Amino acid sequence: MPKKSPSSPAQKIAPAKKVIAIRPDLVPRLVEKARELKQNPNQLVNLITEGGLDAMDAEGQYESPIVQLYRSSHGKTLMTSKALMTICSIIVPDVYEIDRHEKQILLDLVNKHDGPLSLSIFKEYRQLAVHMNKQRIENEALMAKLQKANKAQ
């Protein structure tokens, strides 16, 4: 039986790997994020790099899918607070006068909105954020009262 030549399709040669170094101080953070996202650290580096390169090449705004996945899985807003608050301040000028908790609630609500965001819908989100923040304050006060009563026993 004749031997197959190296150019034979039966013998595949793996592409040469390129090694790129990552700063040692970033490794623990990378490994932690990879574990949280259930990714291999090398794969996470590739996804982060691909997202960054896609963002550089994109026309206009671009958000990396892996960053979106991480932020949404941790309950964080997707748009930056500053960008969103600037947009919101055009519609509702007093939006900067709200406290940080109400602001976070509002940003989360707007980020979860699907479809066009009209002025009336934004104002409803604002009212909902006010209500949810009041509820949060009441819940924290009740928790503090219960914890104080528990310590007194």
Q: Tens digit of pLDDT per residue, the chain (153 long)? A: 555 555 555 567 777 778 888 889 999 999 999 998 888 888 888 888 888 888 888 887 677 888 877 777 776 665 555 566 666 666 566 655 677 788 778 878 887 888 887 878 888 988 899 899 999 999 999 999 999 888 888
Residues 69 and 85 reside in one and the same domain: no
User: Is 122 a member of any domain?
Assistant: yes
The range of the structural domain enclosing residue 31 comes to 24-73
User: Is 16 a member of any domain?
Assistant: no
User: Is 12 a member of any domain?
Assistant: no
Angle of CA points 71, 74, 77, to nearest 5°: 45
Residues 64 and 100 reside in one and the same domain: no
Q: What is the tens place of the pLDDT at every residue in 127-140?
A: 899 899 999 999 99
Q: What is the pLDDT of residue 7?
A: 53
Residue 69, SS3?
A: helix
Q: What is the pLDDT of residue 84?
A: 63
Angle between helices 65-73 and 27-36 (to 10 degrees): 70
Residues 69 and 122 reside in one and the same domain: no
Residues 111 and 129 reside in one and the same domain: yes
Q: How many domains does the chain have?
A: 2
Q: Which residue has the tokens 């101080």?
A: 25
Whether 66 and 48 have beta carbons less than 8 Å apart is answered as yes
Residues 50 and 105 reside in one and the same domain: no
pTM: 0.47
Residues 96 and 65 reside in one and the same domain: no
Residues 36 and 60 reside in one and the same domain: yes
